Amino acid sequence: MKNAFHVMIVPTLGCPARCRYCWSSDPASPRMGMGTLREVVDWLKGIEKERVTFTFHGGEPLLAGAGFYREALPLISRELAHLEPEFAMQSNLWLMTPEIADVLAEYHVPIGTSIDGPEDLNDTQRGEGYFQKTMKGYAIAREHGLKVSFICTFTSRSFHEREKIVRFFRENGFTLKLHPALPSLRNDNPEPWTLDPADYGELLVYLLDTSLEHLGRMEIMNINDLCKCVFFRHGTVCTFVDCMGSTFAIGPDGGIYPCYRFVGMPEYVMGNVADRPTLDSLADSHIGRLMRDFRAFVNRACAGCAHIRYCRGGCPYNAMVPHGGEIKGVDPYCTAYRRIFDEITGRLDREMADSLPFEMGPFPPARQKGRKPGIMALMRHQAMKMRMQMP
């Protein structure tokens, strides 16, 4: 099987919203033209070994307009068919129109959008009117058959409203993906809002309990992913794998970065698609070497940690932020990762020990009488869901 390769396309860093903790929006940002998109395609034609997921990110990617996607999606699908392209988008949906929805639906583009909880709480963090604008776009997306999931950013303030937020997602039947408000290398905007690592750990344990309590009735994607990490003993989301070399982001001018979080900072450009750089030359760039240094650093710094195989020191970008872009530590959210991984492994060990040997299959009994569902039940639920989704 070919390795997965992830290309994030950032058509602009502009965005019509003004979220209080945003670090990426830049009103003066240019927009990617079709010429640059064609250069992206030509660059990737020379990279033949991988399966590629393209995620349109921002800023706000819908600012690129219907015409951009009407050309870009068939171009990528046709010219890069050997890479088996799949698509995704991260958008606030404000600019969703029936025309854009039609083309995204034709290419099966799932969308992740952002809502931080009930309207009042969301608009306090993301600006007045945000909630209604996103819900309007959501309705159009759903009418056109698009799959939309919600990302909820938890901040230092909304952490204290976690029960209200979880209830909102549960009562609306929305799948919840949690995102902590994080500090940035680009600016200090997020600082007053960032989630404390200890609070993040506590939040994850709370969400684990919530997920088990409402098993089958509410999906919390982070909890599913964290349990899969432990169960299969390797990371299943970018934070917990060595993302370097398998993820790239392309900015509006064709600049190549290690991830969307670096886009717009010239000192982190690895190359430009117009020059058709090889993967080796990208890995040899200054930032390519910095990302590799992180892997080596983690191998030393986390050597004694029981979770190193499926944590991998967390996110290299997060790790660089407190040190002005240098590698001098692992991801500061280590405290949170260790807390939730300890919790999951501890519970899993107890569940395994409690299972009678003759009951042990790949997925032992989900629930014994009088017992609450545990990690094994959650994994079994996930496996059954995957089986049902298989063609």
Q: Considering beta carbons, is residue 133 or 307 the nearer one to ligand SF4?
A: 307
Give the residue among 33, 30, 39 at the shortest CA–CA distance from 59: 30
Distance of closest approach, residue 57 Cβ to ligand SF4, in angstroms: 11
Q: How far is the CB of 350 from ligand SF4 (least distance, A)?
A: 20
The residue (of 345 and 355) whose beta carbon lies closer to ligand SF4 is 345
**Which of the residues 358 through 387 are near ligand SF4 (CB under 6 A)?**
none
Question: In the block, which residue shows the tokens 């990490």?
Answer: 229
Q: Which is nearer to ligand SF4, 155 or 318 (CB)?
A: 318
Question: Please, are residues 59 and 25 in contact by the beta-carbon 8 Å criterion?
Answer: yes
Backbone angles phi, psi at 59, to 5 degrees: 35, -150
> Would you call 275 helix, strand, or coil by DSSP?
helix
| Shortest distance (Å) from residue 279 CB to ligand SF4 | 16
From residue 226, give the alpha-carbon distance in Å to each of 157, 221, 381, 390. 24, 9, 15, 22
Tokens at residue 25, please?
A: 């929006």
Contacts of 361 (CB under 8 A, 6+ apart): none
- Return left, alpha or beta for 312; rule: phi > 0 is left, psi -120 to 50 is alpha, else beta: left
Q: Shortest approach of ligand SF4 to residue 182 CB, angstroms?
A: 9
How far lies 341's CA from each of 113, 209, 311, in Å?
27, 14, 9
Q: What is the DSSP letter of 371?
A: P
- Asked whether position 338 contacts ligand SF4 by CB under 6 A, the answer is yes
For residue 108, give every residue at least 6 positions away whose Cβ sits within 8 Å of its Cβ, in sequence order, or none.
86, 87
Q: How far is the CB of 40 from ligand SF4 (least distance, A)?
A: 18
Map the footprint of ligand SF4 across residues 246-265, applying CB under 6 A.
247, 259, 261
Among the listed ranges 203-211, 227-235, 333-341, 343-351, the one in contact with ligand SF4 (CB under 6 A) is 333-341
Among 41, 66, 75, 238, binds ligand SF4 (CB under 6 A): 238
Count, residues in the chain: 391
155 vs 239 by CB, closer to ligand SF4: 239
Quick one: 298 or 375, whose CB is closer to ligand SF4?
298
In the bound state with ligand SF4, the residue whose beta carbon lies nearer, of 4 and 238, is 238
Among 201, 210, 239, 344, binds ligand SF4 (CB under 6 A): 239
As a whole number of angstroms, the distance between CA 165 and CA 179 comes to 13
Map tokens 């959650």 to a residue.
378
- Binding residues among 127-146 for ligand SF4 as defined by CB under 6 A: none
Each residue 272-311 as x (binds ligand SF4 by CB under 6 A) or -, in order, gives ------------------------------x--x-xx--x
In the block, tokens 């590698």 appear at 327
Q: Which region, judged by CB under 6 A, interacts with ligand SF4, from 101-109, 120-128, 330-338, 346-354?
A: 330-338
Binder among 314, 332, 364, 374 for ligand SF4 (CB under 6 A) = 314
Which position among 73, 95, 109, 330 is part of the footprint of ligand SF4 (CB under 6 A)? 330
295 close to 311: Cβ distance less than 8 angstroms: no
Smaller CB separation from ligand SF4, 95 or 302: 302
| Cα 389 to Cα 309: distance, rounded to the nearest angstrom | 28
Q: Measured from the CB of residue 266, what is the shortest distance to ligand SF4 in angstroms?
A: 18
Shortest reach from residue 142's CB to ligand SF4, in Å = 28
Does a cis peptide bond (omega within 30 degrees of 0) precede residue 59? yes
List binders of ligand SF4 among 50-109 (CB under 6 A).
Answer: none
Q: Report which DSSP code applies to 168.
A: H
CA dist., res. 343 & res. 250, Å (int): 37
Number of residues engaging ligand SF4 in binding (CB under 6 A): 21
CB 177 within 8 A of CB 222: yes
Q: Which residues are at the interface with ligand SF4 (CB under 6 A)?
A: 238-239, 243, 247, 259, 261, 302, 305, 307-308, 311, 313-317, 330-331, 334, 337-338
